[in-house]
Amino acid sequence: MSWVGDLLRAGIDAKGDTIKFSKPVAEVDLTISDADQGDGTTDVTLQVTDGAGNSLSDNFMLRVWTGGGDDFGVDALTGITASTGTIVDSTTANGDIDLVTDENGTAVLAMDNNGAGSIYVWVALQSHVYESGELTITSS
């Protein structure tokens, strides 16, 4: 059976439901920035861009994980929430998540370290892994 038949069997009504198909973007990049809140948390902004650094207006699936050392290992934080974008799955609670950016290719994650310290953030996008480097979080 065709893929349309598979969708219909899965309960998608071709007339009633909207299905969005996006063409893969040939050249993508990602910027990672953070804003320390001074209370044991930091807001991490992820922005998908084209090769020239222009923000891409589309939704993108990202895998994001955090660690306490620069070793690609997952270490859970006290909390991770999305103020922009949507968390759709969590492999390790507050440590390894899948999320979808908003329609502007942006995701903003509030990362709670429960105090001062350093964290690292890695993001997988279209088979590439991007890293934040050390993010210093302060707490007053």
Q: What is the CATH number of the domain that holds 75?
A: 2.60.40.10
Number of domains in the chain: 1
In a domain, 5, yes or no: no
pLDDT band at 27 (very low <50, low <70, confident <90, very high): confident
In a domain, 4, yes or no: no
Domain that holds residue 70: 25-137
In a domain, 17, yes or no: no
Residues 105 and 49: their CA atoms lie apart, in Å, by 8
Q: What's the number of CA atoms in the CB half-sphere (13 Å) around residue 18?
A: 2
Distances (CA, A) of 14 to 5, 10, 23, 35: 10, 11, 20, 43
Mean pLDDT, the chain, rounded, equals 88
Q: Which of 56, 49, 64 is nearest to 100 (CA)?
A: 64
Q: What is the mean pLDDT of residues 34-54?
A: 95
Q: Which of 45, 40, 56 is nearest to 99 (CA)?
A: 45
